[in-house]
Chain A
């Protein structure tokens, strides 16, 4: 009986380990303006590289809690990042369907691919009024370093406050 229990526990560990150590491979694209690569799968990991929007990466390992180990297609950058930073295909990255020219049109088909974007914002700002004031205030604040926290500073800020103990 004891061996059966032990065998069951072992099997459970193997299943768990397989689930957490998947090796999916495949190419993904960075879908955020800047993705930070860390030296370990943790928000307290040291930032070792940064990849721009649209950069291609190869996923080499996938862990639970949404972390993936990737290697950049171009250059030598490699490390761990959140899977939330990656799109699975180009269409998903660009949004909607059709080319940029098609999407700029006003047919029912082209309009279907539209949504909130830079052009929509520019047209609203051009109208002036309160919304233009709101956008101006937003951009003034976003231009200040205080409103642009860097993920690379997180470990030091946590350590200073005696945090990070759960890891």
Chain B
């Protein structure tokens, strides 16, 4: 995962260079001096474009997700084992169908990345990534389902899109891209601006994860999904507790904004008194087969 983080940060450096001017000089001045177009008109168009993220259609969210997914897969390929991929996608589809948003434009897709760190990430548009190291760290299907349900919850609540809406840097990139497009009478500049935005968003997501508030929402949604499906809700806090042990790479799972211990404690309190269904032999068998194929 560190390689992925590094690669993405390096990829984002180009965007940083573009943005330095926007941070130190007023955006309006930058747009005017760099492009020579009416900054107010460009700003108004960018504002509308930015607010269109608020009303982003599932199709637009899908293409944003593809852009993020391409950034991630360019840095780290997926593992080649088709049987494991099929299994992880079946577990993912099961929890996605039990979520608050089972239908997304292009369907849910789950990728096992060829990376060791225990980490996972949800991009907009229902592209979910989980590192091989995290699948192997799970004690069973219920824990894997907990991880995937947490990521599905980020998609269902559109946390990625909402994160971009709040971003001033995204707004600045859009203004510049719109102004460049108006000047050159070509949408290539807009495509570049949107690409820069996707790259920067991916870098932020990989490095910092979602906010503490979003992580908590996703945690609580995840245990509700586990309960709805019939998995053991305690599987998620169990996994978080184990990853928090020294020497297991704790702290890199999902986000370091909220400590794993606090999240574990919150989840344990939330599920107190809930039924604890048994794990079946069939579930253990199919998970073990998928995990062993990743060795």
A residues apposed to B, CB below 8 Å = 31-36, 43, 53, 66, 81-82, 84-85, 87, 92-96, 104, 106-109, 111-121, 123-124, 130-131, 133-135, 137-138, 141-142, 144-151, 153-154, 157-158, 160-167
Contact = CB atoms under 8 A, between A and B. Distances in A.
A33 B280 CA distance: 35
Contact of A163 (B60, B192, B231): B231
Contacts of B210: none
A34 to B, nearest CB: 7
Interface of B: 11, 38, 41-42, 44-49, 52-53, 55-61, 63-64, 66-67, 69-75, 77-78, 82-83, 85-86, 89-90, 92-94, 97-98, 100-111, 141, 178, 181-182, 184-188, 190-192, 194-195, 198-199, 227-231, 277-278, 280, 282-283, 286
Contacts of B58: 31-32
A161 to B, nearest CB: 4
A13 B228 CA distance: 23
Contact of A114 (B49, B77, B228): B49
A66 to B, nearest CB: 6
Contact of A34 (B107, B108, B277): B107
A24 B235 CA distance: 39
Given A84-B102, A120-B190, A95 B111 contact: no
B82 A135 contact: no
Contacts of A135: 66, 70
B47 to A, nearest CB: 8
Which of A135, A138, A157 counts the most B-chain CB atoms under 10 A from its CB?
A138
Contact of B69 (A33, A87, A138, A144): A138
A10 B287 CA distance: 47
Contacts of B11: 130
A157 B94 contact: yes
Contact of B282 (A94, A107, A162): A162
A101 to B, nearest CB: 13
Which of A116, A146, A154, A157 counts the most B-chain CB atoms under 10 A from its CB?
A116
Given A43-B98, A106-B181, A121-B63, A137 B74 contact: yes
A163 B94 CA distance: 10
7 contacts: A84-B101, A115-B56, A120-B195, A121-B66, A124-B195, A146-B83, A150-B93
A117 B198 CA distance: 13
- Which A-B residue pairs are the 9 nearest by beta carbons? A134-B74, A134-B70, A112-B48, A162-B280, A149-B93, A85-B103, A108-B45, A43-B97, A116-B63
Contacts, number: 224
Contacts of B227: 166
A143 to B, nearest CB: 12
Given A92-B55, A108-B38, 6 more contacts: A84-B103, A131-B71, A145-B86, A146-B82, A157-B93, A164-B230
A144 B282 contact: no
A137 to B, nearest CB: 4
A82 B63 contact: no
A131 B198 CA distance: 11
B52 A112 contact: yes
A55 to B, nearest CB: 13
Contacts of B59: 31, 53, 95, 117
Contacts of A134: 69-75
Given A112-B45, A119-B187, A137-B78, A93 B57 contact: yes
Given A108-B42, A108-B182, A162 B70 contact: no
